[in-house]
Structure 1
Amino acid sequence: MKIQFLIFISVFTCLNSFSNSLKKDGPINLLGKVSYKNGSPVELALIYIKKINRSTYTDENGNFIISDIIAGKYTVLVKPFETEGITVNVDLSLKSDHITIELDKNESIALNTITVISKSKGQLVKEKGFTVGIVNTQKMAIQNLQATEILGRTAGVKIRQTGGLGSHTHFNLNGLTGSSVRIFIDGIPLRNYGESFSLSSIPPAMIERIETYKGVLPAELTEDALGGGINIILKKSINTHLSAAYSFGSFNTHQINVDAGYRNTKTNFNVDFSTFLNSTDNNYKVWGDNVYVVDPNSGKVNYVRAERFHDNYKSKGIKTNIGYSSKSWADEITLGLMISDMDNDIQTGPTMDIVYGNRRSKLDSKMVSLKYSKKDILIDGLSAQILTSFSHTNRMVIDTVPYMYNWLGKIIRDNDGNPINWQNNGGEAGEASLANNKETNIANRTGIFYQLHPRHKIGMHYFFNRFTRDVDDTMRPQSERDLTDTRYLTKQIASFSYESNFFDEKLKTNIFFKHYKQHVKLSDPIREGNTIASFEYERDINHNGYGVAISYAILPKLTLQTSAEKALRMPGASELLGNTSEGIQPTYELLPETSNNFNLGFLLGTYVLNRHNFNLEANFFIRDIRDMITRGISGSISDTYGYENLGKVKSTGFDAQLKYHYNNRLFVTTNFSNFNARYNLRYDDFGSEYIYYKDRLRNAPYLTSNTYIEYKLGDFIKEKSKLSINYNFSYTHQFFRNWESLASSGKAFIPTQALHDIGISYTVPNNKTTISFNAKNITNEQVFDNWAMQKPGRAFYVKLTYRPIF
């Protein structure tokens, strides 16, 4: 490790020396700070230099930097969100220059020099025709919110969790869920990081924004996805910064995170560092049809209100990036390192019918990544983006105690007082296990773009992913261990894209083609009578897909957008190969799921009427799906489950989102989502009609709504202090747990849920320290999710955030 560290330092020292050797009159930097006259920073203000068509945005401290500028005189537009802004004249000498700008919140300044409409990266993607939702997490980072909660308030998105903090998370996007929706962190597939570093554990302070692509995924992300994807963009340094936060709340929940960054404005050398620690008992109370104890003498069932007694969760992680940006030889080159681990008690099986008292899992992950991007790399118009990562994960299950527990946390005993076991010499979920899965993931995404013409651009993209899993269990007979071979899963995706724009950039199109290839290979022991034999399995998958995204600006503030794709999603590692830590059985014969996706929507606004600002987005969609991969139903006795193909499913629906701001004080965001997904295969292989033909998909919420209201006050109690009061309402309509036609078996439906959350945050006058209080589910509504798994009720949290200004 010491040798690797010395090599690393040597390489970057050479790069630093090389950068310093560049000619003295080369590119320089413009950096500065934007604040209001009361001292509070201006976040997300556009900084734009028309002469060179360069722009950036201020961070949460009001700082900004535009690198690689030729010395000269420039007019700079400073435009806070949804205001007209001001212009500043600067004269850059042969060194970095710094400007400080103070704005009055109430003054409206007409621009005589420049008129520019601010467009974020997300807005530019939307204008290509893709249906994408953008969530900026930084403004909510001071609240006691998980990143999953913030994302769950987006139109068309529903977060599915099996419990409290740290529980397994699925994302429902316009009705499609599970692995049908691909998740990325900075463009790297989430599965490469391991579950200890996921959207459930990463604090919002580490995240810059979350991009949600609905239905159609751009070719440059180069993944197989049926229902779209979610790309989590982690925060990067544009200036030296530091923030630290500590949160404490219900269920003995502790959360700590530190985020820091350093940037040398002369050499553009930067370092980012972030770390987090999460810990909770998750001992919230549960009740209902599945929470009961049985009297051993009479056999009478007594329903109880019980506390979860075996659901402790701990996770921690460190992530650091080191590299250069805005150099003549690289727009960005970054070496990243991530280390994380997780220790998790397991309270129940996939449903609440089975209770555990000793079963637990552990996981640790390490990942190293290298990112490189450069425009005009060999010739003008040619650019390249390369992202490579290697990760290693240890996943362990500890299940060696066979006792049966009830919901009161007591061992179930017979009439003689002896413990009742699930099975002799076994564990709580079957055979005794100390399974240790060692997984490695190698991934590379390479994109090459060429600007043929200002209106025409082509791209070629290639994605390679090699997943291996070594399975071992010291509790199994040696003969079985010897016959268990490494699992291999290799995925390759090649895609090609063509972008164009016409009629003064009013009409924009993006056409793409994708080729998918997957190879799986494994060897498993199978028992044949009294002997154990080796089962060999190998399979290849080859498919093609294609699509188009189109947008047309009918008016300056009205854009129509549509997209269509023949999408494909190949079975994932857990679906094909199983996962012992999550009770998933292998299903080797799963077919890829395919879908013909179509979106049609519009973007309206932003309209400014005096101090009122509002915009509206809406999207209508159709998903015609074949061989949808879905989780099978767990039995009331067995803890495990597998996956299956559903045949035909057709889903239609729409979502809409309205944003309204008044005078930079009142902020309202409300959205509504509805989809109608029906089982669309009428006859089985023998010609018999399925009893659930035309039923809604089981265990799938189909009507949701969210409304978030925030009111901000300045100079509260003391001058230059800030007070923010917020309220969130979340609604999920009742949905059937099983097929509607079979709803009489088990719990018929998961009831309607209407949740109310309130919060308050106060920032002291120096703008460094913020204290926040949040009350969640204040009416203590009984909240259910996947297969009627109950989530936490009423909870209270307090959070202290410290962000010094440099």
Structure 2
Amino acid sequence: MSLSGKVTYKSGAPVDMALIYIKKINKSTYTDENGNFIFSDIPPGKYSVFIKTFEAEGIYINVDLTVKSDHITIVLENDQGVALDDVTVVSKSKGKIIKEKGYAIDVVNTQEMAIQNLQSTELLNRTSGVKIRQTGGLGSHTHFNLNGLTGNSVRIFIDGIPIRNYGESFSLSSIPPAMIERIETYKGVLPAHLSEDALGGGINIVLKKSIGNHLSASYSYGSFNTHQLNVDAGYRNPETNFNVDFSTFYNSTNNNYKVWGDNVYVVDPNTGKVTYVKAERFHDDYASKGIKANIGYTSKTWVDEITLGLMISDMDNDIQTGPTMDIVYGQRRSKRDSKMVSLKYNKKDIFIEGLSVKTFTSYSHTNRKVIDTVPVMYNWLGEIIRDNDGNPINWQNNGGEAGDATLENNKEVTIANRTGISYQFHPQHEIGVNYFFNRFTRDVNDPLRPESIQDLSDTRHLTKQITSFTYNSNFFENKLKTNLFYKYYKQHVKLVDRLRENNEIIAVTSEKKIDFNGYGFAISYALSPKVTLLSSAEKAVRMPGDSELLGNTSSGIEPTIDLLPETANNFNLGFLLGTYLLKKHSFNLEANFFIRDIRDLIIRGISNSISDTYGYENLGKVKSSGFDVELKYNYNNRLFVTTNFSNFNARYNLKYDNNGVEYGHYGDRLRNTPYLTSNTYVEYKFTDFIKENSRLSINYNFGYTHEFFRNWESYASTGKAYIPTQALHDIGASYTAPNNKITLSFNAKNITNEQAFDNWAMQKPGRAFYVKLTYRPKF
């Protein structure tokens, strides 16, 4: 059986984040921004349902589910009632439940933030221990730094599926927060059910599911001619439990913000004189769009959920620079498009009580295209560089700005399956097995290359299989929770590449097989209802990815098939304190201390100073340790403050090379890696602002990143080879009309117009302003 419903005020406004609790079966949930909620897998029977908001006393409603599922509508008095100190919350949020499993995890709920002019990457960047690193503005390539580890060492998922299967055009940079329910950040230790290899943890993006009839649409416009549109809709039949979800988005921008500094200059080709300038990015247009649809059933006798999914997306972007800002392009472009179909099946108590099955299968096809056919050189003023006779000066004589002229298309196909089987043979004990299969192939075609060379290019293959076994238990009335797991990794890679030998181009076949073992645990112990100790550890393995091994010419990445897998011994120790209530005040405090002892860390190599290419390399030994802490404060459910601080010390830990010579950078911090960050977010909410039932919220965000060296510290302690300290200030406001259908938001980002940098001193946008209109009709 299932129970769904909608909670509204008498004014018709939906009630979001209302607690819905069924004590008899100890299940709880919260309403979404449309006031909807749903419980699945409820045994037939009669129940008393408790509904409560922070602003009012709770009420009980009796429901009868002995014959069929039900859909109820609850109408509450408008938000008047008892103060927060009179409230006793009888259940826990989804995020709290996940945290108490023992993993070092942060959970970002996006519902409240969806009405603001914020990207999903910005929300994640405010999480303790997380640093989002982009190479430019909207749509630029994104790296995730988690407790000092970056790149593919940190795995990204969408609903538990590796994000690379969706294609780059459907990424965290393009998905609006309105499509996301929450973002889970696992630090250091990745749960076995996610079934992936990861060295530094993972980020799981949980998309919103249809829990009732709903519609939400928004449009925003802002600096740099930025337009963003998204629509999210859903339908659920309460009688048949038939569900349809549909969401779409569109983003476009010119990204024509100003840049300046040591890497932005104009060189006179005749005299060699260098003139530093403040220039506008003139070739950085970006556009992306996508559609995601799901159709299926939930809470049937034969299935808990079966969903057929379809995703289509594409992006088109100019390429302004090479791997550093010293290289400027004026006509180089790329295009991406992706299609994905998927099938999800979940069933509890299949065949026997306590036996559950979850499986997800997907097929995706992605095209990555590069258009680079004009070899002329541009400077930062957007001018073609010419010689004394007025003729354009070319980069090279081979037809493109970044090398050979190319119209290369990488056709990538990925087939994946993740299946999990668990058996709860006792109320306190559960065992499980998870299997992940991923088959990746890439065909390269370039009509500008001679057929003789194209014939030497073969399909590139990468197959990965991961099997994990788990044992979960709880003791002492759920105070002690343990999670033990073992993982087996297997990978096979094969490619044919071109090699020039004796003035002849020949085909060379490379093939490699890898297998590894990993294991770990997560333990939590509740000293009291408000004090929980957490600890987790893992022998982690991260096998090289497709772009690292096979290269990716559309992104300027050279193949490096001899890369070794990354391995690490990871350890976390932390605690959760709260929620503590003192009259109208409430507090939460979380902290995590960690150690990462790493072998063969895979990092991006230094870019070729002439061509737009780079490869990856292994670092022998790296040791990272540190901590992050987060404090949350709430006054009378009006003033909200969240502040966090992260410090990690990741250093090169291999003293001698194979010849016994000491490395000059032994003991240095990892190059191009931030190590001290902080973020503070403050929001104040006004009710009945100007008119009854209207709401106004104002917010302020402060982000701080301490300076860090671009290269090894021992080699770059003088001069300006570092990324400077960045202190960024954002402000915003949102106003919701009395009918609760329309919300108007305003955001000003980087209001002091500070220079903001990430990877290799690639400058990000300065001061920017945005307005956003959100429409959410009532059903």
TM-score range, shorter chain: over 0.9
2:74 counterpart (76, 96, 100)? 100
* Conserved 8 A contact 2:4-2:211: no
Distance 1:571 1:520, change over 3 A: same
Cα distance in structure 1, aligned partners of 2:717 and 2:380: 25
Cα distance in structure 2, aligned partners of 1:438 and 1:395: 7
Offset from partner CA, 1:178-198 (integer Å, 9 cap, x none): 000000001111000111000
| Residue 174 of structure 1 pairs with residue 155 of structure 2 | no
2:475 counterpart (479, 491, 502)? 502
* Conserved 8 A contact 1:479-1:532: no
2:691 counterpart (712, 718, 729)? 718
Distance 1:70 1:574, change over 3 A: closer
Offset from partner CA, 1:148-176 (integer Å, 9 cap, x none): 00110001110000000000000001111
How far 1:718 sits from its partner (Å)? 1.1
In the other structure, the counterpart of 1:672 is: 645
In the other structure, the counterpart of 1:482 is: 455
SS at match of 2:455: helix
Distance 1:97 1:413, change over 3 A: closer
How far 1:264 sits from its partner (Å)? 0.3
* Conserved 8 A contact 2:40-2:304: no
In the other structure, the counterpart of 1:633 is: 606
Cα distance in structure 2, aligned partners of 1:230 and 1:253: 27
Distance 1:326 1:306, change over 3 A: same
Offset from partner CA, 1:624-677 (integer Å, 9 cap, x none): 000000000113323210000010000000001111111111111100000000
Cα distance in structure 1, aligned partners of 2:156 and 2:63: 42
Give runs of aligned pairs for residues 125-144 of structure 1, distance below 5 A.
125-144=98-117
How far 1:737 sits from its partner (Å)? 0.6
How far 1:120 sits from its partner (Å)? 2.5
Cα distance in structure 1, aligned partners of 2:505 and 2:760: 36
In the other structure, the counterpart of 1:805 is: 778
Distance 1:279 1:688, change over 3 A: same
Give runs of aligned pairs for residues 228-377 of structure 1, distance below 5 A.
228-377=201-350
Cα distance in structure 2, aligned partners of 1:199 and 1:329: 34
Cα distance in structure 2, aligned partners of 1:97 and 1:790: 52
Distance 1:83 1:668, change over 3 A: farther
| Residue 730 of structure 1 pairs with residue 703 of structure 2 | yes
Give aligned-pair identity as a percent.
Answer: 77
Cα distance in structure 2, aligned partners of 1:99 and 1:359: 56
Distance 1:378 1:71, change over 3 A: closer
Cα distance in structure 1, aligned partners of 2:56 and 2:111: 20
Distance 1:111 1:328, change over 3 A: farther
Give runs of aligned pairs for residues 405-554 of structure 1, distance below 5 A.
405-554=378-527
Cα distance in structure 1, aligned partners of 2:88 and 2:684: 30
* Conserved 8 A contact 1:87-1:111: no
How far 1:82 sits from its partner (Å)? 9.5
How many equivalent residue pairs?
778
In the other structure, the counterpart of 2:25 is: 52
In the other structure, the counterpart of 1:578 is: 551
| Residue 189 of structure 1 pairs with residue 151 of structure 2 | no
Cα distance in structure 2, aligned partners of 1:79 and 1:180: 42
Cα distance in structure 2, aligned partners of 1:755 and 1:115: 38
2:729 counterpart (750, 756, 761)? 756
Amino acid paired to 1:102:
L
How far 1:37 sits from its partner (Å)? 5.5
1:391 counterpart (346, 352, 364)? 364
* Conserved 8 A contact 1:683-1:690: yes
Give runs of aligned pairs for residues 52-131 of structure 1, distance below 5 A.
52-67=25-40, 69=42, 72-80=45-53, 85-91=58-64, 94=67, 96-103=70-77, 105-108=79-82, 117-131=90-104
In the other structure, the counterpart of 1:11 is: none
In the other structure, the counterpart of 1:204 is: 177
SS at match of 2:206: strand
SS at match of 1:589: coil
Amino acid paired to 2:246:
F
Distance 1:593 1:76, change over 3 A: same
How far 1:117 sits from its partner (Å)? 3.1
| Residue 783 of structure 1 pairs with residue 756 of structure 2 | yes
Cα distance in structure 1, aligned partners of 2:78 and 2:85: 15
How far 1:750 sits from its partner (Å)? 0.5
Distance 1:338 1:504, change over 3 A: same
Cα distance in structure 2, aligned partners of 1:225 and 1:81: 39
Distance 1:41 1:605, change over 3 A: same
Cα distance in structure 2, aligned partners of 1:612 and 1:240: 36
Amino acid paired to 2:280:
E
Offset from partner CA, 1:339-366 (integer Å, 9 cap, x none): 0001010000111010000100001000
* Conserved 8 A contact 1:43-1:61: yes
* Conserved 8 A contact 1:460-1:496: yes
Amino acid paired to 2:688:
D
In the other structure, the counterpart of 2:540 is: 567
How far 1:88 sits from its partner (Å)? 3.1
How far 1:255 sits from its partner (Å)? 0.5
* Conserved 8 A contact 1:85-1:109: no
* Conserved 8 A contact 1:283-1:307: yes
SS at match of 1:628: strand
* Conserved 8 A contact 2:83-2:636: no
Alignment gaps of 5+ in structure 1: 1-26
How far 1:318 sits from its partner (Å)? 0.3
SS at match of 1:47: strand
* Conserved 8 A contact 1:84-1:110: no
Cα distance in structure 2, aligned partners of 1:381 and 1:195: 39
Amino acid paired to 2:73:
I
How far 1:63 sits from its partner (Å)? 2.0
Moved more, 272-281 or 120-129: 120-129
Offset from partner CA, 1:503-533 (integer Å, 9 cap, x none): 1111110000000000001111211122221
Offset from partner CA, 1:541-590 (integer Å, 9 cap, x none): 01000001100001110000000000000000000011112111111100
SS at match of 1:138: coil
Alignment gaps of 5+ in structure 2: none
